[in-house]
Amino acid sequence: MSDGQGRRRVVITGMGAVTPCGLDAEQTWQSVRAGRSGVSAVEGFEGHVRIAAQVKDFEPERYMEHRSVRKTDRFAQFAVAAATMAVEDAGIDIRADAERIGCSIGTGIGGLKTEEVAHRKLFDAGPDRLNPFWVTALIPNMGAAEISMALGTRGPLTTECTACAASAMSIGNGVLFIRAGMADAMLVGGVEAPVVPLGLGGFGTMRALSRRNDDPEGASRPFDLGRDGFILAEGGAVLVIEELERARARGAHIYAEIVGYGMSSDAHHVTEPDPVGGNPARAMRNAMVDGGVTPEMIAYVNAHGTSTPAGDTAETKALKLALGEERAYQIPTSSTKSETGHLLGAAGALETIITALAMRDSFVPPTINQTDPDPDCDLDYVPNTGRAADVPYALTNSFGFGGHNAVIVLRRWDADAAA
C-alpha cells in the first residue's frame, strides 16, 4: 500500500532499549512518563563534572557470547541488546528473508572507553602491546556491524555519525531505503557509551555539561532559567521498521507509522546552534511536507531540549518559525532528556520510541525540573507533570554539533491510520 504520494508506507513494529531509565523500552517509557530521573553521581571520577545518566545492572552476556563481549566496546553491546529486544518484540524472522532486511545504527562517537584503554596501554607498554581487537571495538560502524552479524541481516548496512542527530538520521535513512525498494524491513536506531573520564572530561571542559554535582536528579532542566548544560548519558535504542503490507501480511503489531522525515544544515558553528532558529525550522517544515502534515495536525512535539542555555532558546525560536507562533503555543512540547539525560547519537531513536508510546497511551510526558521557566522559552513545555492528551500526529527533533538537523513525524496507528 502506498501513501498519498505513491510511496511505500513504513511502520514501527518492534522496539528495544537499554537506557538510564530502564533495561527495556517499556520500563524506560514508564519511568519517563512518571517523571523519574535516571541521573546519578558517577563514582570514582574527580573532575569538575561528577554526574551522568548511566545504565545500571546491564548484563551484556544475556545477549552476546562471553568471547564477543570481551572483544567489543560497551556501545556495541548496547546495540546488540537493544536490537535483540526489538526483533523479539516485532516477532520478525530475519533469517527467512535476510537479504531484504537491513540495519542502520547511528552513534556520535563509538568506542570511547576502548580508545581510553588503548591510549593508556600505548604509553604504558608501547605500540606492540596494544590489544589486537581495539580498532574493531573502537570504530563507530561496529554497532551496526555487530547487530548484523549477531542477528543475520544481509540488506543495507549503514552507520550515521552525525553527532546528536545520528540515530534520527539512521531512522530516516531506513525509511528511505524501504520507500526506494532497497529493503522491506530495517533495524534502525542508535547507541552511545561516552560516560568515561575522557567523555566527561572532554564535554566538561567545553562547558557543555551541567555542574550541579550536588543535585544529580535536578541537573537536567531543559527550558528552565537555571539550566547550565546537558547531562551526559549512555544507552541504546533500536526499532524494527517495515513496509506496511509486509507487516500486515505477517500479523505484526504496529506501534505507529513514520510519515515524514526532514533534514537541514545550519552552516553556522561547530557547537553553537543557529541562534535565529531558521535552519532547524526548515528541517521541521521539510518533515511535515514529506509526511503531508500541517502544523494544525501536530499534537505533540518531543523537543531536542538539551538543557543548554543557547540550545533551548534557539529551539524555542525554531518551533515558532516552523509551526507558526500561534500554533506553537498550543502544542504540548516536552524534553524527555530531563529524565534520560542526553544519549548523544542514540537520543533521536530513544525519543522516537518515547514519542510512539506517548501516542499509544494518549499521554505526553513531562519536562521535569522546571522550577523557574525561562521567559525566552515560553511554549507549553509540560512542566514537571505529564498529562493525558490525544496525539494522532507528533514530531520529534534531533540537532547535532556541526549543524546537523533531523526531524521525524509519526502518525498514531489506529483506524484512521490504517486506511
Options 21, 103, 161, 164, the catalytic residue: 164
3-class state of residue 162 by DSSP: coil
Exposed / middle / buried, residue 3 (Cβ in 10 Å: 0-12, 13-18, 19+): middle
- Contacts with 308 (C-beta within 8 Å, 6 or more apart), sequence order: 208, 227, 229, 230
Options 103, 304, 377, 404, the catalytic residue: 304
CA distance 406 to 304: 10
Strands lying side by side in the sheet with 256-265: 157-158, 101-106, 185-192, 235-243, 10-18, 256-265, 404-412, 393-400, 300-302, 333-334
Which of 405, 401, 300, 310 has the alpha carbon at shortest distance from 354? Answer: 300
Options 103, 342, 377, 404, the catalytic residue: 342
Exposed / middle / buried, residue 272 (Cβ in 10 Å: 0-12, 13-18, 19+): middle
CA distance 403 to 196: 25
State the number of CA atoms in the 13 A half-sphere of 36 facing the CB: 12
Which of 279, 360, 317, 348 has the alpha carbon at shortest distance from 104? Answer: 348
Q: Which amino acid is at 397?
A: N
Which of 92, 285, 263, 299 has the alpha carbon at shortest distance from 176? Answer: 263
Catalytic, 304? Answer yes
What is the chain's Cα-based Rg? 20
Catalytic, 164? Answer yes
* C-alpha cell belonging to residue 97: 528473508
Residues serving a catalytic function are: 164, 304, 342
